[in-house]
Structure 1
Amino acid sequence: MKSRVYFATLFALYQLCIAIGIAAMPVALVTRQAGFTLPIHRLLSNVGAAYEDAQASMS
């Protein structure tokens, strides 16, 4: 039961991170022009890796 809750939470967090990344795209483009990059890609890769690990352990 605990692993299902963890898996569902990771899934929701992953989807939320994708939505935040899409919403922050205009800001990211402006900051990139200014010479600064937003670390959204690192957040997505970390959450994605945790989600995939949880998915593998569920099977």
Structure 2
Amino acid sequence: MLDRIRTAALFGLHQATVAIGISLFPVAMFARNQLGINLPVHRLVETTAEAYQDTDE
């Protein structure tokens, strides 16, 4: 039962980070092109994806 809740929570968290990454894309492009700053949103998405995939094992 707790495994299902954990899997669902991680899936929701991963989906939320993907949505945040998509919505921040224009800001990230501006920051990179105009200010020379890289926003590491991809690391957050990759970390949540790995955590979600680990629950399937």
What residue number does 1:23 align with?
Answer: 23
Return structure 1 stretches of 4+ with deviation > 4 angstroms: none
Structure 2 residue runs without a partner (length 5+): none
CA-to-partner distance for each residue in 1:5-51, whole Å, 9 max, x for gaps?
A: 00000000000000000000000000111111111011011100000
Q: Which amino acid in 2 is paired with 1:36?
A: I
Q: Report the TM-score when normalising by structure 2.
A: 0.94
RMSD: 0.6
Q: Report the counterpart of residue 37 of structure 1 in structure 2.
A: 38
Question: What percent of counterpart residues are identical?
Answer: 43
Q: Which amino acid aligns with 1:17?
A: T
Structure 1: runs of 5+ lacking an equivalent: none
CA distance in 2, matches of 1:31, 1:54: 35
Number of aligned positions between the proteins: 56
> Partners in 2 of 1:55 and 1:9 — Cα distance?
13
